[in-house]
Amino acid sequence: MTTTIETGSVTERPAPKKKVLYVDMDNTLVDFQSGVDRLSPEIRDEYQDHLDHVPGIFALMDPLPGALAAFRELAELFDTYILSTAPWENPSAWTDKLLWVKKYIGGDEDSPAYKRLILSHHKNLNRGDFIIDDREVHGVKEFKGEHIFFTQPSYEDWNVVMKYMRTLA
């Protein structure tokens, strides 16, 4: 709250509202390849064209370099949510993504990700100012806010993205 004194009286004004930011998981916060690297050759061959359908694969993944610190800072600067898609044909992915968030970012009420995980195949249905995502699928292309296209020129890694995002807060 901001306090303003007007002619002897005190008026309470709400603090300025933070801009809404969504951050993707796979290949944005999470290193998808690290999970693939932990699969047996037999499983890789069986699921070669759809590795995201491997049961339990999302529980095997590591964070991308700089992703966790970036998320924590973004959560201070913006009204930040994790917005990810879980493969329809891989029911364990829905649970594994939540468990990944709890493991790496935190699961208690003090965590910047507490109850801020949204799983959707239609990311454009979420209203917000920004989305950081490495692809233009699942509604990202139709998202009404600005798409920060992670890993593309100008947004190659978390250091570059954070430099830009700080200017937008």
Among all residues, which ones are annotated catalytic? Answer: 24, 26
State both tokens at 161.
């993205």
The alpha carbon dihedral of 3, 5, 9, 13 has a sign of: negative
Question: Can you name the residues that pair with 146 across neighbouring β-strands?
Answer: 130
The string over 84-103, giving b where at least 16 C-beta atoms fall within 10 Å of a residue's C-beta and e elsewhere, is: bbbbeebebbeebbbebbee
DSSP 89-122: T-HHHHHHHHHHHHHHT--STTSTTTT-EEE-S-
Query: Which helix (H) or strand (E) segment is 149 a member of?
Result: strand 146-149
CA–CA separation, 58 vs 94, rounded Å? 9
Q: Three-class SS of residue 148?
A: strand
